[in-house]
Structure 1
Amino acid sequence: MEELSLQLRFEEAAEIRDRIKALSYIQLKSTLSSSSIKSADVIAIAEKNNYYCIQLFVYRFGQSYGNIPYFPVHTEESNKAEILTQFINQFYQTAQIPDEIIINHPIIDLELVTKAIRQLSGNSKFNIRLYSNDLENWNVKQRVSERSVHLVREYANSPKFYGTNSSKHSSIRLLENAEFNAQLSLNQHLKQFAKNQIIFQQIQQLFDLPTLPNRIEVYDNSHIMGTFAVGGMIVANQSGFDKKEYRIFNISIPQGDDYEMLKIVLTRRFTRLKKEYLTNEQVNTCKTLMIIDGGKGHLSVVQKIMTEFNLKIPFVCMSKGPDRNAGCEQFHMPGKEAFTIDKNLPVMKYLQILRDEAHNFAIKNHRLRRPKAIKVSSLDDIDSIGLIRKKALLHYFGSYKAICDATIEELSKVKGISQTLAKNIFTSLHDNLL
């Protein structure tokens, strides 16, 4: 950090400073655990320039079980109370519900939310505890219990209680830690967002897009001579990779035809888009840029499918160039000659990162699919093992690995598997493992 400062590289020095702060808090992990907090989620919300971060810490049995930041979107017309209320209502529809939730800011209809979560969890003792040092600035009309007001006022007018083990004071310490992490995560998020916004503007200029894209979809395929083929789609926006939007497409085609694979993937994708949007105009104006790993042949395939679906989504095909060297990538667009740009430009490096993410995502899912199919087929190769007996084996043992680990005696206990057949299965599987 000091060396970067001396070189006047202040932005990089600031990033190192933030890492040092984060590492310092990691070192405090043991001191931030509390035996008095048995089962609780600690939630802190932070705001900066109308952007928000909700930091969730999970505590079970007096120990921290991890934390994660959330960055709500479309918050322009909302305030902290509305955003935090909506987060709690949505998050605990599917998440494990603790004995209590500790928050740093009031929510709307505190009693109603508490009652709803009690019914959802079946825990009549569930409670939402509220601590804040900014009671006078609460601009939310809600009923706050007399005890909560007493605790909040007491905390606002007293030291930070680092020398006590009481449940109340431990909660405040954990909440302070969550607040710090929320602000730190938000600052880092905004820095990355600012960088990505510049990159997205450069992408708009590079590909001569009519509007600034707010979503980039990148497609790649992976297969071995057409077998275990998968198509992968990754998604990035100005906040970074949006992994909940990633999609995998399982494909069955002969001969490993990349063009046919791309056609199948895009056909499925566009069919889904037609269901999500009411009209083609809505699809065309959703500010999405598509990047396909491929060259001129892939360009023709995409153009044909776009015409079939009557869509005009901007797209680019990205190939590795004549020598397939990283840094010499060529870009192919409708009505334009293939072109490349300086490999040292930030926008080129960013596009390479997107392409590599899509490539790795597709390969990962291809590898997951391959051994599963190989394992199942090894059972099919055994004489007298049909669909019914294969299902019986998998149902009894739970997995292919468990079948391989089973003895002849254990295999013979499965319905429909005789001692002779069990010996045959055992011998065949172990021969395959050699």
Structure 2
Amino acid sequence: MRDIKTFLANLTHHPGVYQMLGENGEILYVGKAKDLKKRVGSYFSSRAKDPKTLLLVKQIKDIDITVTSSETEAVLLECNLIKQHRPRYNVLLRDDKSYPYILITQQDFPRIDLYRGPRKKKGFYFGPYPSAHAVRETISLLQKLFQLRTQKDSFCEGRDRPCLLYQIGRCAGPCVGLISKEEYAENVRMAILFLEGKSHIVVEELQHRMEKAAQGLNFEAAAHYRDQITRLRQIQERQYVHVDEGNADIIGLAMQAGIICIQLLSLRGGQILGSRAYFPTVPVYSTSQEIITAFLTQHYLGHPSHIENIPKQIILETAFSEQHWIEKVLADQAGHKVEILFPTRGEKKKWLAMATNSAKQSLAAHLFAKTNMRERAAALQTLLELNALPHRIECFDISHSMGEATVASCVVFDQHGPLKSDYRRFNIQDITPGDDIAAMRQVLLRRFKRLQKDAAKLPDVVLIDGGTAQLNAAAEVLTGLHITNTLLVGVSKGPDRKPGYETLHFINKAPIHLPADSLALHFIQQIRDEAHRFAITGHRQRRDKARRQSSLESIPGIGAKRRRELLRYFGGIQGLAHASLDELIKVPGISKPLAERIFATLHDATI
């Protein structure tokens, strides 16, 4: 590598983009900077760095610098270079598609359709929608409400009878003259009002038509308008919220088993247009701030149609240092003010929770998709050198609080995903509190003795949450039970318990580290995380039950009925613990002497 001190000494303070190059000139990382000298110099300073940066610096052999005329130009250039070269140390978003729109054409009998690309066709455009699925869902809804045609002109020409869509009530049959031009134009006008977020006007007009039809004894038409109104009100309750000027994107983030999911929820005109999940490629040890920053730049600046539709508000959960810089760049490109908000309460916080929950659901669906599961199982087969896909994988984990209420979990997976009916929990007893090795030995002995007794199928692979000590304890148990055809693998966590740096331990074989993007590692992480979740849930239930009962059951005069009444009255043990003596006396069935004993016991005091 070139002399870094000389290189940094001659580096400019101007904004620009830097490219970290590897041994063979490959681009390892692309970054932007307001001040190139300070930013690039920070990589080689003596200050503490995160593990990802340390790994990157070790591989840097050269640095390529591009000075830009403005900070905005630096962000745009960085985005283009990442998209072009896809460096391994950058967060990479795979999103090359333009936004889809709903198009209502300008014709005698307009057609409604999904549209992508430059808006050159004559007509009314509505959106952008986050996904084609959201567009198709809305078009289907408009067909039911206003019976607009979706068939192409070539399909409609020369027809002498209506198509199936007319038969099922999704088209008014304009191609065969079953509706007048004026009536159809009115349906189009109502659909446009709906798409503009003015459904209250549509409802008012439909109410007026329903009343007029009823007065004219046209009850069939009145019933039709009534059904339209009912459906519209249901949509309003589900889709409409209040936002400033009705234009915002809400971004939720979820992570599990080494996979990141970003959920983008789009609101336009006060209406939820839909949401879309993104699964970027993320290097190990990337922070949530890095991931969000990369998403904002690559998503909004990576495609011309995205730039045209940058919202006025972007709502996030995690603040990041480059907020004002990114706001300025997005505003310059959009031609209007852009705010990045981090709400802590109120309606916007509720929307953020909605996006985050959607991200978790999308991630779970992605992890447990059959194609993903089979690919991961195949990768695990290759890693462990198995003769066939593993038909049964069991994972064991231990959970306790400083040795209190120790619970072990056993979760079971096959090549299609989790077998939740086979999950088991074990209350660990008669061991030294906090002795995880003894706990692991006990749960494995109980589990495999029972499997042998029931002549049940033994697992092909057993994952042990822990290192060499836990693995050796597991090996002793299986050897003692003469079980030889089950492969044992220990999974120990990496530095700072960060996912992606796990070590896999084997009996009579050197431990290995897998790359962060390994499908086999993702599968192991997924199973291990599920075992941890199942164990900690059981531990908390056992711990809370023990704490709740032990303090109350020791009080003379408190039986199951009074204990239940106390907990119900105060909403749980926490509420009871904070209750005053006067509040205790108010509980039905609790006398003053008994209330004094309860108070004294809970507060370790003497009344």
User: TM-score, structure 2 length as denominator?
Assistant: 0.38
Look up the SS of the partner of 2:542 in the other structure.
helix
CA distance in 1, matches of 2:139, 2:423: 35
Shift of 1:272: 3.3
Checking the alignment, whether the CA contact within 8 Å between 1:232 and 1:249 is kept in structure 2 is yes
Checking the alignment, whether the CA contact within 8 Å between 1:189 and 1:239 is kept in structure 2 is no
Read off the aligned partner of 2:371 and give its amino acid letter: A
Look up the SS of the partner of 2:407 in the other structure.
strand
Shift of 1:333: 1.7
Q: Unaligned stretches of 5+ in structure 2?
A: 1-79, 87-91, 101-128, 145-163, 172-219, 232-361
Checking the alignment, whether the CA contact within 8 Å between 2:398 and 2:406 is kept in structure 1 is yes
1:358 aligns with 2:521: no
CA distance in 2, matches of 1:22, 1:377: 54
Question: What residue is the counterpart of 1:316 in the other structure?
Answer: 489
Shift of 1:158: 7.3
Question: What residue is the counterpart of 1:160 in the other structure?
Answer: 168
After superposition, residues 158-307 of structure 1 pair within 5 angstroms as 159-162=167-170, 192-252=369-429, 253-277=431-455, 283-284=457-458, 288-307=460-479
CA distance in 2, matches of 1:389, 1:28: 63
CA distance in 2, matches of 1:205, 1:329: 18
1:371 aligns with 2:544: yes
Read off the aligned partner of 2:372 and give its amino acid letter: K
CA distance in 1, matches of 2:449, 2:604: 46
Look up the SS of the partner of 2:411 in the other structure.
strand
Distance 1:407 1:189, change over 3 A: closer
CA distance in 2, matches of 1:296, 1:190: 28
Look up the SS of the partner of 2:385 in the other structure.
coil
Look up the SS of the partner of 1:161 in the other structure.
coil
1:331 aligns with 2:509: no
Read off the aligned partner of 2:467 and give its amino acid letter: G
Question: What residue is the counterpart of 1:420 in the other structure?
Answer: 593
Distance 1:291 1:401, change over 3 A: farther
Checking the alignment, whether the CA contact within 8 Å between 1:292 and 1:315 is kept in structure 2 is yes
Checking the alignment, whether the CA contact within 8 Å between 2:143 and 2:170 is kept in structure 1 is no
CA distance in 1, matches of 2:395, 2:449: 17
Look up the SS of the partner of 1:256 in the other structure.
coil
Checking the alignment, whether the CA contact within 8 Å between 1:216 and 1:237 is kept in structure 2 is yes
Read off the aligned partner of 2:462 and give its amino acid letter: M
| Structure 1 range deviating more: 226-235 or 351-360 | 351-360
CA distance in 2, matches of 1:219, 1:236: 12
Checking the alignment, whether the CA contact within 8 Å between 2:368 and 2:417 is kept in structure 1 is no
CA distance in 2, matches of 1:325, 1:236: 23
Question: What residue is the counterpart of 2:520 in the other structure?
Answer: 347
Read off the aligned partner of 1:210 and give its amino acid letter: N
Checking the alignment, whether the CA contact within 8 Å between 1:202 and 1:347 is kept in structure 2 is yes
Distance 1:310 1:196, change over 3 A: same
Read off the aligned partner of 2:528 and give its amino acid letter: R
Shift of 1:343: 2.7
Read off the aligned partner of 1:259 and give its amino acid letter: I
CA distance in 2, matches of 1:265, 1:300: 14
Look up the SS of the partner of 1:389 in the other structure.
coil
CA distance in 1, matches of 2:137, 2:604: 49
CA distance in 1, matches of 2:527, 2:493: 14
CA distance in 2, matches of 1:236, 1:373: 31
Aligned Cα RMSD in Å?
A: 4.6
CA distance in 2, matches of 1:276, 1:19: 52
Checking the alignment, whether the CA contact within 8 Å between 1:209 and 1:314 is kept in structure 2 is no
CA distance in 2, matches of 1:375, 1:190: 37
Distance 1:309 1:229, change over 3 A: same
Look up the SS of the partner of 2:369 in the other structure.
helix
CA distance in 1, matches of 2:372, 2:137: 27
Shift of 1:306: 1.0
Distance 1:23 1:305, change over 3 A: farther
CA distance in 2, matches of 1:429, 1:367: 21
Read off the aligned partner of 2:477 and give its amino acid letter: I
Look up the SS of the partner of 2:409 in the other structure.
strand
Shift of 1:392: 3.4
CA distance in 2, matches of 1:246, 1:28: 43
Look up the SS of the partner of 2:486 in the other structure.
coil
Read off the aligned partner of 1:393 and give its amino acid letter: R
CA distance in 2, matches of 1:313, 1:202: 18
- Bigger radius of gyration: 2
Shift of 1:293: 0.8
Read off the aligned partner of 2:559 and give its amino acid letter: K
After superposition, residues 383-402 of structure 1 pair within 5 angstroms as 385-386=555-556, 389-397=558-566, 399=568, 401-402=570-571
Checking the alignment, whether the CA contact within 8 Å between 2:377 and 2:523 is kept in structure 1 is no
Shift of 1:352: 2.4
Question: 1:279-314 CA deviation, whole Å, 9 max, x = no partner?
Answer: xxxx34x6x321111111112111111123222322
Question: 1:179-202 CA deviation, whole Å, 9 max, x = no partner?
Answer: xxxxxx9xx889932232122111
Read off the aligned partner of 1:160 and give its amino acid letter: I
Distance 1:399 1:329, change over 3 A: same
Shift of 1:424: 2.9
Checking the alignment, whether the CA contact within 8 Å between 2:389 and 2:415 is kept in structure 1 is no
Checking the alignment, whether the CA contact within 8 Å between 1:394 and 1:400 is kept in structure 2 is no
Shift of 1:29: 11
CA distance in 2, matches of 1:31, 1:229: 56
Question: What residue is the counterpart of 1:100 in the other structure?
Answer: none
Question: What residue is the counterpart of 2:60 in the other structure?
Answer: none
User: TM-score, structure 1 length as denominator?
Assistant: 0.51
Distance 1:246 1:400, change over 3 A: farther
CA distance in 2, matches of 1:423, 1:277: 57
Checking the alignment, whether the CA contact within 8 Å between 2:397 and 2:465 is kept in structure 1 is yes
CA distance in 1, matches of 2:369, 2:494: 30
Distance 1:230 1:401, change over 3 A: farther
Q: Unaligned stretches of 5+ in structure 1?
A: 34-155, 174-184
Q: Matched residues, percent identical? A: 31
Look up the SS of the partner of 1:236 in the other structure.
strand
Distance 1:227 1:336, change over 3 A: same
CA distance in 2, matches of 1:420, 1:300: 56
CA distance in 2, matches of 1:21, 1:237: 33
CA distance in 2, matches of 1:237, 1:191: 11
Shift of 1:258: 0.5
Distance 1:22 1:420, change over 3 A: farther
CA distance in 2, matches of 1:380, 1:206: 53
